[in-house]
Amino acid sequence: MLVVFAELRDKRKTSLDIMRALSDLPAAKDILVSTPEELERHRTRIGSVLRYAQREGKILYASD
């Protein structure tokens, strides 16, 4: 799951917080956190998980 934040101070802590919040779900999961700027930097980088997520992923929730 890729979660995009407008501002992100501590990627590791944020990722762990999300993982803990979803720990009751009985499924394997990988959590990636990013910012719009980071997504743009990796948009064309071949082999990047962020590139693949932007091309192939589905938006589950979006807020304005």
Q: Is 53 left (phi over 0), alpha (psi -120 to 50) or beta?
A: alpha
Residue 44 in any domain: the answer is yes
Residue 35 in any domain: the answer is yes
Q: State pTM to two decimals.
A: 0.82
Q: Mean of the per-residue pLDDT values for the chain? A: 93
17, pLDDT greater than 90: yes
64, pLDDT greater than 80: no
Task: Tell me how far apart the alpha carbons of residues 18 and 12 are, in angstroms, rounded to a whole number.
Answer: 10
The number of folded domains in the chain is 1
Residue 45 in any domain: the answer is yes
Domain hosting residue 51, numbered range: 2-56
Residue 61 in any domain: the answer is no
The answer to whether the CB of 43 falls within 8 A of the CB of 49 is no
Residue 64 in any domain: the answer is no
Contacts of 26 (CB under 8 A, 6+ apart): none
> How far is residue 2 from each of residues 48, 50, 56, 59, measured CA to CA in Å?
13, 8, 12, 9
